[in-house]
């Protein structure tokens, strides 16, 4: 996935003195004062040299460079630990070559600096640099600043280009079969044509594709968006997978395991409910939104006992927790669900009567444990 943000209005700043430039100016004025006060010509000569250097530096950075600058982040959504890069393209549209260019891109709380080689007239320079993906969540990238400094580092001109973008680092996942629910019907996935009467319900809106029933067209949304939209219906009798993620002492292994389970059900077209210590996670209905929502989950102090008790019953309940006590409490709701599974990511063995407990120490161990349940 590649995204090129639309060019934003560029901020033009006049050439300004750097701290070294201000120091040179102050030193030159002090030398002038000392030279005239004491009657010595040497300080005056040194001060004149400093001021001439400042004048040359200002003349170097004062011309406004004509540049076309684009920074692309690809991909915009990436599993934790996978590669993501920023690609910077700079084109010199001016009549003369440019040197002393430096790009400064803010990535999260850090700043990444890239020194650009000399740009002859009409030349294009492309540089890329990796983006950090070790931490799950949103990572703002930008604004991008292009700095042109003189060879002495006395002055510089700074301009911003483009708009900031957001890199979304999602949980890692592994492939799993659909969680068992104890119900054998409708294993082929949701349908709206052959579903038993009264079990079909609205799921979401999507764009029309050839072959869709025109009776399902949502005309109000189609008029508002300018694109033909249809109602996507699901068979409400399909078993729902409820994934409960214990967010106290949250670990990345727990989030990855919950994402893998929820993704398996959503990819197969079965209804999914996500629940954390803060309660149900809204709009986690399809594979993309499941990963997007779990990318933003953070640790909290609330347990999942109450959210789990209030969760709608039926289908499978999968609890992901590092807490043995929380794993024991899931037995209290097992009668409301067709199947209860606890993915335990904590230390030591855990056994809960009536509950299938899958202890794992790494995400790679989840498929094997899942297949042996």
- Report the greatest alpha carbon distance in the chain: 105
pLDDT band (50, 70, 90) for residue 195? very low
CA distance 109 to 275: 30
pLDDT at residue number 192: 40
Residue span(s) of the chain under CATH 2.60.40.10 come to 11-15+61-169
CATH fold for domain 241-371: Rossmann fold (3.40.50)
**Domain 11-15+61-169 in CATH: superfamily?**
Immunoglobulins (2.60.40.10)
Cβ atoms 235, 190 nearer than 8 A: yes
pLDDT band (50, 70, 90) for residue 185? very low
CA distance 283 to 233: 15
Cβ atoms 295, 262 nearer than 8 A: no
CA distance 60 to 99: 10
Residue span(s) of the chain under CATH 3.40.50 come to 241-371
Express each pLDDT in 52-75 by its tens digit.
Answer: 988 888 888 877 888 999 999 999
Distances (CA, A) of 306 to 71, 246, 250, 258, 333: 46, 11, 18, 19, 11
Tell me the two tokens of residue 347.
């230390």
Phi-psi region for residue 235, left (φ > 0), alpha (ψ -120 to 50) or beta? beta
- Is 335 a residue whose pLDDT tops 80? yes
Provide mean pLDDT across the span 173-178: 92
> Residues 6 or more apart from 220 whose CB is under 8 A from it?
none
């Amino acid at each position: 996935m590649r995204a090129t943000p639309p060019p934003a209005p560029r901020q033009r700043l006049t050439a300004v003195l750097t701290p070294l430039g201000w120091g040179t100016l102050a030193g030159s004025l002090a030398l002038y004062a000392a030279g005239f006060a004491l009657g010595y010509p040497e300080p005056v000569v040194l001060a004149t040299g400093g001021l001439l250097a400042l004048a040359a530096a200002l003349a170097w950075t004062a011309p406004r460079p004509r540049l076309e600058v684009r920074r692309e982040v690809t991909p915009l959504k990436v599993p934790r630990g996978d590669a993501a890069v920023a690609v910077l393209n700079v084109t010199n549209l001016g009549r003369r070559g440019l040197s002393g260019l430096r790009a400064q891109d803010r990535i999260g709380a850090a700043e990444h600096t890239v020194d650009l080689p000399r740009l002859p007239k009409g030349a294009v320079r492309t540089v890329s640099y990796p983006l950090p993906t070790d931490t799950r969540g949103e990572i703002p990238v930008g604004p991008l600043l292009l700095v042109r400094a003189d060879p002495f580092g006395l002055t510089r001109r700074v301009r911003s280009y483009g708009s900031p973008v957001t890199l979304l680092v999602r949980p890692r996942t592994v492939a799993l079969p659909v969680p068992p629910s104890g119900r054998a019907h409708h294993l082929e996935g949701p349908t709206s044509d052959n579903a038993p009467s009264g079990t079909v319900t609205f799921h979401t809106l999507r764009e029309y594709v050839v072959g869709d029933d025109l009776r399902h067209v949502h005309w109000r949304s189609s008029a508002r968006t300018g694109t033909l939209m249809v109602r996507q219906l699901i068979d409400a009798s399909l078993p729902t997978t409820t994934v409960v993620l214990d967010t106290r002492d949250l670990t990345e292994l727990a989030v990855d395991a919950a994402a893998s389970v929820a993704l398996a059900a959503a990819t197969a077209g079965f209804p999914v409910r996500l629940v954390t210590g803060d309660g149900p996670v809204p709009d986690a209905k399809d594979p993309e939104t499941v990963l997007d929502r779990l990318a933003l989950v953070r640790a909290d102090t609330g347990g999942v006992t109450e959210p789990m008790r209030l969760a709608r019953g039926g289908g499978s309940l999968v609890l992901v927790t590092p807490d043995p006590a929380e794993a024991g409490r899931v037995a209290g709701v097992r009668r409301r669900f067709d199947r209860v599974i606890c993915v335990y990511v904590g230390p030591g063995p855990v056994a809960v009567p009536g509950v299938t407990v899958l202890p794992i120490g790494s995400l790679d161990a989840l498929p094997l444990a899942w297949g042996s349940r």
